[in-house]
Amino acid sequence: MKKIECKRCGTCCVKGGPVLHGDDLPLIKKNIIRPDQLVVIRDGEPAYNPIPDAVEPTSCEMLKIQGQSGGWQCLFYDATQKSCSIHTNRPLECRLLQCQDTAAILAVTGKDCLNRQDIIAQDDPILPHIQAFEQCSWHKVHALLATLGPESIAALEKILHTDLFLREQAITQLQLTLAQELFYFGRPMFQSLNHPGLQLTFADGMPRLHLP
């Protein structure tokens, strides 16, 4: 069988950084990839799944390499040079991906994914803040979205507001950078909430939800 050579077009790197798996834990321990270079995708959070080619709730917590300047392009990709700054030590998904044959990477999608507990020390002062976030569960959000009405919308708004309050509290108390916030808490929930039966607006800096 002819070996498929990477053309170094950068298409996969521009679309986003990889999700990390158990095989990638040594990269964290060796500080090749730092926690503040990762973003957490929380359990149940809407995210792109390549198998059905659709956005759907995740089945577990995942850690993904952050993008550049608020975009999706992998943090370690240099578009000018069309090269990866950690290519020799690139994560599992990067090693498996072949544009012409995606079978190998699809086989590991959603399996043995690293999570925050694999990385954060047990005495880290951030832990109580992360535990407080359990009240902002994506599973609660999906249950409320299934029964849209005045009460469920009010409950959804409360979750979105609590999410913002808790992360701001942690940022202030622990002086977190934006990169650290993304690792510990992920994106604010209102940014990932997209439902055809709801409209999102803002009032006094807080997200508000309305029926169309």
> 3 falls in which pLDDT band (50, 70, 90)?
low
Q: What is the mean pLDDT of the chain?
A: 92
The answer to whether the beta carbons of residues 166 and 151 sit under 8 Å apart is: no
pLDDT for 141 beyond 50: yes
Cα–Cα dist 40/42, whole Å: 6
Q: Looking at residue 5, what is its pLDDT? A: 65
Indicate left, alpha or beta for 48 from its phi (over 0: left) and psi (-120 to 50: alpha).
beta
The answer to whether the beta carbons of residues 138 and 43 sit under 8 Å apart is: yes
Lowest mean pLDDT among 2-11, 37-46, 75-84, 133-142: 2-11
- Mention every residue, 6+ apart, whose C-beta is less than 8 A from residue 177: 36
Q: Looking at residue 146, what is its pLDDT? A: 94
The answer to whether the beta carbons of residues 64 and 16 sit under 8 Å apart is: yes
pLDDT tens digit string along 84-131? 999 999 999 999 988 778 888 889 988 999 999 999 999 999 999 999
Q: What angle do CA 55, 140, 115 make, to 5 degrees?
A: 65
The answer to whether the beta carbons of residues 89 and 32 sit under 8 Å apart is: yes
Higher-confidence residue: 178 or 102? 178
pLDDT tens digit string along 149-174? 999 999 999 999 999 999 999 999 99
CB atoms within 10 A of CB 121: 8
The answer to whether the beta carbons of residues 73 and 149 sit under 8 Å apart is: no
Q: 3-class DSSP state for residue 136?
A: coil
